[in-house]
Chain A
Amino acid sequence: MLNQEHSIEVTNLTKYYGPVMAIHEVSFNVEKGEIVGFLGPNGAGKSTTMRILCGLITAKSGSAKICGISIASNPDEIKRRIGYMAENNPLPEDMRVVEYLYYRGRLKEIPRKQLKDRVEETLELCDLNRTARRKVIATLSKGYRQRVGIADAILSEPEVIIMDEPTIGLDPHQVLMIRDLIKNLRGKMTVIISSHILSEVELCCDRVIIINQGHIVACGTSESLRNEFINTTTYTLNMKGNTSALDSLLREIDPDLEISSSLSVVNDDYYDLELTTPHTRNLSEEILTRLYEHPQFRLRELRRKVPNLEDIFLAATRRSWDEDIPLSNNKVDRGKKNNQETATVE
């Protein structure tokens, strides 16, 4: 029974390169029109998963479906439904941008009558029409090359777009442009982006999947992951006053609120102070009010630190390392396992 709601359905996907495990029982779904960030440290299995989704390599076990169609059974059909931008964005150096897009359009079976319109529309959308249109790809800057890669991925208006590190090596202006471009695709196409740049993913993705050592370690919106992985709320204060009296005052606000970091005197007797509490309730107003009630404390600055995706990523990967120490060398000792089984039989 095909589930038409999911654009991408991955179930227990496993892949080995020889004895080295690349991914192990990876499962996740991506809904139609969603933009999902696929995060993970180097060698975590991001590119392997992406390549399996594109039908470039086959998995050892498990199933992957795009728009309800199995990739293993119908790789040709899948290729009509995806747009792929590979890592490092390989492009033929000797072609002009517009020639390349026409060539790719023909290969992607865009009807002849629509091809010209689609190419022009894509050139306009990726801001390639004015300066880069007739340029030879070898002469383009990194930013323009990335745009050509994205233009190629969206050219045939595929249902699913898979991008491996689309913003790598770009300057902030180009990153902004590509972020806007990806945001424009929301609701129209399903986009899955693998990236190292976490702030980028947080800004343009609806949901995040974090993979580490070939396992999915976290999956959800930034907010849900924040609640799952970051159990403390941190407040940073820049203040003056006796800290020994501060302890009792803090306990009155919240019994679990405590000073977490050592004091560091900045200048003119003011120092930075970090308070932590396991509760997520915002205590900023209470802290502010109570400190003003006591004139021996002079508060100059109060900040509630909201954990960003980087903190979530670090917490999620750290937790997976802690839980999965035997897999830390990424090698599943299948041989050893077999030997053990053989020994038992003997």
Chain B
Amino acid sequence: MNHFTCLLKHELRALFIAPSTYVTGVIFLLLMEFIYILILADFTLQPHDNLPSEYFFQLYWIPVFFIVPLLTMKSIAEERRMGTLETLMTTPVTATEIIFSKFLAAYLFYCLLWILTLGFPLLVNLTIGSSAMTVRLLDPATLLGGYIFVAISGLLFISVGIFSSSLTRSQLVAGMLCFSILFIIILGVPAVKTQSIGWFEWLEGALEYFNNFKHLEDFSRGVIDTRHIVFYFSYTTLVLGISVLITESKV
């Protein structure tokens, strides 16, 4: 546990002193702000049944595609390229501690970036300040459900990034691999499901279970179903476990 704390502190420190982290953060916030403004602009033009936050969280996948690869591609690939992974593995530290510390550091930063987006509805509410608006902008069930979904699904996305990074020495290859896997997980599965005809039909049930948007539906209504939590936790553990094995065998 001491090793893990030490490694986690080291990873967080490395993350917070790297200029690329701040560049990633700024790009993320600018993009999310732009999306939020577009949603609000659309709300002013026509009536909607749903809340702005629901639409906002439905677009969670846009930042995930670039934020997750940018945050994780360096983690193992760079250490392996530099040779520092080798020196790390000659200390009493295990590959599990290395992988989990890198995962947790990236995950905490990912969550921090999303928490900062809470500022958007708060700022709009502060500027406009009508009670009717407050109810729609800061609906606690939608916001809580949305952020819980982002936090829980982030576990799987970040673990995919760490897994991609553990496979190669090249950051670029790790980043591209992560993007491809995330694309398949997030957009590929619903695309296959909607196109499923004939011999794909038997897969429908399984694909439904893998569909991230299906999980989001419950969360954005404020329903926290343990099935979704088990899904994300179990797959995160599986992916991280494979990453540990790869790191152990490919020092």
Contact = CB atoms under 8 A, between A and B. Distances in A.
8 contacts: A57-B251, A79-B92, A86-B86, A86-B90, A90-B86, A104-B91, A107-B92, A108-B91
B93 A90 contact: no
A76 B18 CA distance: 32
A84 B90 CA distance: 7
Nearest to A85: B87
A93 B18 CA distance: 12
Contact of B83 (A54, A80, A88, A152): A88
A56 B251 contact: yes
Contact of A56 (B7, B10, B89, B93): B89
A82 interface: yes
Nearest to B18: A94
A86 B2 CA distance: 24
A106 interface: yes
A42 B119 CA distance: 59
Interface in A96-116: 103-104, 106-109
Contacts of A57: 251
Contact of A91 (B84, B94, B251): B84
B93 A86 contact: no
Contacts of B93: 107
Contacts of A103: 6, 10
Nearest to A109: B92
Given A107-B93, A108-B91, A108-B92, A56 B6 contact: no
B214 interface: no
Nearest to B85: A90
A159 to B, nearest CB: 14
Contact of B6 (A76, A92, A107, A152): A107
A154 to B, nearest CB: 13
A88 B89 CA distance: 16
Which 7 A/B pairs are nearest by Cβ-Cβ distance?
A90-B83, A84-B90, A107-B91, A106-B6, A79-B92, A54-B90, A90-B84
B14 interface: yes
B2 A109 contact: yes
Interface in A132-171: 152
Contacts of A37: none
A79 B10 contact: no
Interface string A61-99: 000000000000000100110101010101111100000
Contacts, number: 52
Nearest to B84: A90
Contacts of A109: 2, 92
B18 to A, nearest CB: 8
A94 B14 contact: yes
A94 B78 CA distance: 13
- Name the interface size band of chain A: 20 to 34
B92 A86 contact: no
Given A56-B86, A90-B82, A94-B17, A106 B92 contact: no
Contacts of B94: 76
Interface in A9-66: 54-57
Of listed B6, B88, B90, B93, residue having the most chain A CB within 10 A: B90
Interface in B1-39: 2-3, 6-7, 10, 14, 17-18
Nearest to B91: A107
B17 to A, nearest CB: 6
Contact of B92 (A76, A88, A93): A76
Contacts of A91: 84
Contacts of A55: 89-90
Of listed A57, A93, A103, residue having the most chain B CB within 10 A: A103
B110 to A, nearest CB: 21
Nearest to A149: B87
B90 A106 contact: no
Nearest to B94: A76
B89 A86 contact: no
Given A57-B251, A90-B84, A79 B2 contact: no
Contacts of B10: 103
A108 B90 CA distance: 9
B90 A56 contact: yes
B17 A79 contact: no
A56 B93 CA distance: 12
Nearest to A156: B91
A57 B248 CA distance: 9
B92 A90 contact: no
B225 to A, nearest CB: 40
A239 B122 CA distance: 99
B142 to A, nearest CB: 41
B1 to A, nearest CB: 12
Contacts of A80: 92
Of listed B86, B91, B251, residue having the most chain A CB within 10 A: B91
A79 B84 contact: no
Contacts of B89: 55-56
Interface in B60-106: 82-84, 86-94
Nearest to A92: B84
A76 B88 CA distance: 12
Contacts of B18: 94
A80 B3 CA distance: 13
Of listed A92, A103, A107, residue having the most chain B CB within 10 A: A107
B178 to A, nearest CB: 23
A92 B92 CA distance: 18
